[in-house]
Amino acid sequence: MKMTRRAFCAGLASVPLARAVQAQDMPLLTARAATVQLAPDGYPATPVWSYEGTIPGPVIRAAQGSRLQRRLVNTLEVPTSIHWHGIRIDNAMDGVAGLTQNAVPPGESFDYAFDLPDAGTYWYHAHTNSMEQVARGLSGALIIDEATPPDVDRDKVLMIDDWLLDPDTGLFVDDFAAPMTRSHGGQIGNLVGVNGRYDYMLPARQNERLRLRLINSANAQIFGLKLEGLTGWTVALDGMPLDTPEPVTETLVLAPAQRMDLIVDVTAEEGETAGLLFAAADDTWRVLAEVSVEGRAASVPRGAPQPLPRNPRMEVEGVDTAPVLEMQLQGGAMRGLESAAFNGQKLSWQELVQQGQFWALAGQAGLGEAPFATLSRGETARIRMTNDTIFPHAMHLHGMHFRERKADGSLGPLRDTVLVMPNETTEIAFVADNPGKWLLHCHMLGHAASGMTNWIMVA
Ligand code: C2O
Ligand code: CU
């Protein structure tokens, strides 16, 4: 939609002046086609869909307690929308096409404006046909700064992604909806990288203290990570501070959409290998982000870091007496389903497959008319997710964070995405304090698009 200046001003005539001024000042976030060099030199560049022309999109930083405003300008040839993953947000700004807003047509725009109650590491990504749009590059980091930042020398975002490229053309393998991958583990790339680089390198000094904000923006890949030449502590998960920093001693698991804030000291000597490694498919450890050590920041490393300042509303009270809602994770290759509801009808496995639906949550494939649950505002609820499939699923709740309730009744850290392993039951508990329609879905985006998406109503 093109608007002349006159039509634009005329359209604003009835809007109070304050809002009109604000709207004109709104910073833009433009979804647009671009070409970037994802593959190593010598291979062709890749046409992508981007925010502002880069992969990932620009890092958006704002202060805790402030208000974020961005005008999404859609210059793509497809409709799109933005989800602000992990923000305990006003429902109307959640960006879910078909549930909280209409997708923004090509040539049009949408104004996002919302409060930022929590500090931490979040991210933003397309939430219209996400399976394809996120894979083509529509994601970026969203960092909300504490009023008093922790004592570190530098703060770095490491956005971890994978891309499935045709090495001859540089193009994305154009089969985002391939039934084979959607009914199995999801689309896994043939190139892994950080901040859009397969060879990401971070120069650092010995005994320098870094805050590393890890974000898994891959469509389906679960990353097993370890540190080399770095001594680290996990200080936050999915944006939310841990009560006590946890020393990193073993493999860290980062499922799609999950985040992890580490504070690390560079302990390697100059010239020694240091960095973040990942477990490749062939079970070897490969460098994901290299830290190249040059010079010294201090003569000795520092001690364990202090915890990050807490965010508001981190308690989940009344869990033991809260109602338990059962949600089976069903379907997929090798297991299938007897039947599930889809678009208001009960379909057999064969009919579901014909509709491109391979999965279901509690007998429902895709969004139904009725929510999975209706909760009253302020009530505590438990959802017991039982994984009846042979695949892991990264289950994400919009709008509210939850704690895992362990079998012994203890509660895990506050987070927004949890990995539910095959044949396991994971129970989450949360306070339904944010009114609106909220998705609960698998963040393996091919799964989400083929059945593993449901919703909750908080009234
Ligand atoms: Cu990160 Cu419903 O998404
Ligand atoms: Cu899944």
Please tell me the distance between residue 32's alpha carbon and the centre of ligand 2 in angstroms.
28
Q: Which ligand is nearest to the CA of 183?
A: 2
Average pLDDT along the chain: 94
Q: Does ligand 1 lie within 6 Å of residue 85's CB atom? A: yes
pLDDT confidence tier of residue 21, bands split at 50, 70 and 90: very low
pLDDT confidence tier of residue 23, bands split at 50, 70 and 90: low
Atom of ligand 1 lying closest to residue 417 CA = 1
- What's the pLDDT tens digit per position in 99-110? 999 999 999 999
The pLDDT score that the predictor gives to residue 175 is 84
Residue 20 pLDDT > 50:
no
Q: Let me know: does 368 contact 456? Beta carbons within 8 Å.
A: no
Closest CA to ligand 1's atom 3:
85
- What's the pLDDT tens digit per position in 400-421? 999 999 999 999 999 999 999 9
Neighbours of ion ligand 2 (CB under 5 A): 393, 442, 444, 447, 452
Residues contacting residue 272 through CB under 8 Å, at least 6 positions apart: 229, 293
The pLDDT score that the predictor gives to residue 17 is 45
Q: Tell me what percent of the chain is helix, strand and coil, each rounded to the nearest 5.
A: 10, 45, 45
Q: Which ligand is nearest to the CA of 360?
A: 2
Q: Can you count the helices (H) and strands (E) in the chain?
A: 6, 32
Residue 438's nearest CA partner among 103, 117, 94 is 94
Residue 15 pLDDT > 80:
no
pLDDT confidence tier of residue 1, bands split at 50, 70 and 90: very low
Closest CA to ligand 1's atom 1:
85
Q: Which ligand is nearest to the CA of 421?
A: 2
Please tell me the distance between residue 10's alpha carbon and the centre of ligand 1 in angstroms.
37
Q: Which ligand is nearest to the CA of 452?
A: 2
Q: Does ligand 1 lie within 6 Å of residue 257's CB atom? A: yes
pLDDT confidence tier of residue 22, bands split at 50, 70 and 90: low
Structure tokens at 214: 């890890």
Provide mean pLDDT across the span 119-145.
98
Residue 13 pLDDT > 60:
no
Structure tokens at 274: 């240091």
Provide mean pLDDT across the span 62-88.
98
pLDDT confidence tier of residue 174, bands split at 50, 70 and 90: confident
Atom of ligand 1 lying closest to residue 453 CA = 2
Residue 221 pLDDT > 60:
yes
The pLDDT score that the predictor gives to residue 5 is 37
Please tell me the distance between residue 273's alpha carbon and the centre of ligand 1 in angstroms.
35
Q: Let me know: does 395 contact 256? Beta carbons within 8 Å.
A: no
- What's the pLDDT tens digit per position in 296-354? 999 998 999 999 999 999 999 999 999 999 999 999 999 999 999 999 999 999 999 99
Q: Does ligand 1 lie within 6 Å of residue 396's CB atom? A: yes
Provide mean pLDDT across the span 375-389.
98
More confident residue, 20 or 225: 225
The pLDDT score that the predictor gives to residue 276 is 98
Please tell me the distance between residue 299's alpha carbon and the centre of ligand 1 in angstroms.
43
Q: Which ligand is nearest to the CA of 442?
A: 2
- What's the pLDDT tens digit per position in 223-259? 999 999 999 999 999 999 999 999 999 999 999 999 9
Please tell me the distance between residue 216's alpha carbon and the centre of ligand 1 in angstroms.
12
Atom of ligand 1 lying closest to residue 448 CA = 2
Percent of the chain with pLDDT over 70: 95
Provide mean pLDDT across the span 250-271.
97
pLDDT confidence tier of residue 11, bands split at 50, 70 and 90: very low
Q: Does ligand 1 lie within 6 Å of residue 322's CB atom? A: no
Structure tokens at 206: 């010995």
Strands 209-216 and 154-163: parallel
Atom of ligand 1 lying closest to residue 398 CA = 2
The pLDDT score that the predictor gives to residue 25 is 81
Q: Does ligand 1 lie within 6 Å of residue 439's CB atom? A: yes
Edge-first strand order for the sheet with 109-115 is 46-51, 28-36, 67-74, 109-115
Please tell me the distance between residue 147's alpha carbon and the centre of ligand 1 in angstroms.
27
Residue 4 pLDDT > 70:
no
Please tell me the distance between residue 370's alpha carbon and the centre of ligand 1 in angstroms.
20
Residue 9 pLDDT > 50:
no
Residue 14 pLDDT > 70:
no
The pLDDT score that the predictor gives to residue 401 is 98
Q: Does ligand 1 lie within 6 Å of residue 441's CB atom? A: yes
State CA 180 to chain mean position distance: 24
| CA pair distance 370, 20, nearest whole angstrom | 38
Please tell me the distance between residue 100's alpha carbon and the centre of ligand 2 in angstroms.
22
Residue 82 pLDDT > 80:
yes
The pLDDT score that the predictor gives to residue 255 is 98
Q: Does ligand 1 lie within 6 Å of residue 97's CB atom? A: no
